[in-house]
């Protein structure tokens, strides 16, 4: 399997008003006409604001340390903590990935808020997050197909900051990527720029498995994704 870079169209994401509403907290059967209209308009705007890119690099020769719940990749040790370690430990190689929705959707969100339109800014912000995550999902599909060609399977995506994996480890993750990979950078607080970006690991191997529902593994009871997925 080779390192790969992708560009996606916003329309590839199939984002719709209902999905954005659910991320905002609206449950099945709940909606608000005014909000739905604003989201529909913002989704049209986002088509030109979002520049979806994703890339992964494949690392073989990875070493897991069960007592430390860590993995060593290219000489760098990642303290995955119990949950992520448990999901990745059977991996024979690791795809380290970055994806982004680009700079402009975040800029539009900040501009709307600065101009006093907090609601429009919030809607762009949520769409940007979903677009970055959606780019990761599309990249993961490509990885899955490449893995299957070699008789391998892949795990779910796991990112620093989730399931107790310290977000600070994002700095080490960036050391594994080529300079200016996707044009994404990370600052001293582990914040990525563009802010609507995602980083993480996907395990590859014969014995690994993809879990349709992973929220039961995590102890973040108030996480919005637990409520909607």
Partner 1 sequence: MNDILKLIANCVENGKIDRNTPYPPGMKGQDGADELTRLALDSGIKPEQILDGALVPAMAVVGDKFSRKEIYVPQMLMSAKAMNGAMKHLKPYFSTGETKRKGKVIIGTVAGDLHDIGKNLVAMMIEGGGWEVIDLGVDVSSEKFLKTIDENPGAFIGLSALLTTTMENMKKTVAAIREKHSGLKILVGGAPVTKEYCERIGADFYSPDPQGAVNYLKQFAE
| Interacting residues with partner 1 (CB under 8 A) | 24-26, 32-35, 38, 110, 113, 116-119, 121-123, 125, 161, 166-168, 187-191, 195
CB nearer partner 1, residue 62 or residue 123 = 123
Q: Least distance from C-beta 119 to partner 1, angstroms?
A: 4
Nearer to partner 1, 34 or 149 (CB): 34
Rounded-to-integer distance, Cα 145 and Cα 152, Å: 9
Residue placing its CB nearer to partner 1 in the complex, 123 or 146:
123
CA distance 111 to 93: 42
In the bound state with partner 1, the residue whose beta carbon lies nearer, of 123 and 184, is 123
52's enclosing H/E stretch is: strand 52-60
Three-class SS state of 205: strand
Cβ 43 to partner 1, closest distance in Å?
14
What HEC string does 135-187 produce? HHHHHHHHHHHHHHHCCCEEEEEECCCCCCCCHHHHHHHHHCCCCCHHHCEEC
How many angstroms separate the CA atoms of 220 and 137, rounded? 21
Task: Give 76 or 190: the residue with its C-beta nearer to partner 1.
Answer: 190
The least CB distance from residue 219 to partner 1, in Å, is 13
Query: What are residue 20's phi and psi, to 5 degrees?
Result: -65, -40
| Shortest distance, position 71 Cβ to partner 1, whole Å | 20
Shortest distance in whole angstroms from residue 4 CB to partner 1: 29
């Amino acid at each position: 399997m080779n390192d790969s870079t992708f560009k996606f169209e916003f329309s590839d994401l199939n984002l719709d008003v209902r999905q954005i509403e659910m991320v905002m907290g609206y449950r099945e059967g709940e909606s608000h006409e005014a909000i739905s209209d604003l989201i529909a308009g913002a989704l049209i705007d986002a088509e030109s604001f979002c520049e979806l890119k994703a890339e992964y690099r494949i690392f073989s020769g990875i070493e897991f340390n069960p007592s430390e719940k860590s993995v060593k990749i290219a000489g760098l040790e990642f303290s995955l903590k119990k949950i992520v370690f448990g999901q990745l430990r059977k991996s024979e190689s690791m795809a380290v990935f970055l994806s982004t929705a680009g700079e402009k959707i975040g800029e539009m969100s900040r501009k709307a808020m600065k101009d006093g339109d907090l609601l429009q800014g919030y809607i762009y912000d949520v769409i940007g997050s979903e677009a970055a995550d959606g780019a990761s999902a599309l990249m993961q599909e490509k990885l899955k197909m490449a893995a299957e060609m070699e008789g391998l399977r892949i795990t779910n995506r796991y990112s620093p900051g989730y399931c107790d994996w310290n977000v600070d480890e994002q700095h080490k993750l960036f050391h594994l990527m080529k300079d200016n990979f996707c044009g994404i950078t990370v600052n001293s607080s582990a914040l990525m720029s563009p802010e609507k970006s995602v980083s993480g690991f996907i395990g590859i191997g014969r014995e690994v498995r993809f879990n349709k529902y992973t929220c039961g593994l995590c102890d973040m009871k108030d996480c919005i994704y637990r409520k909607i997925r």
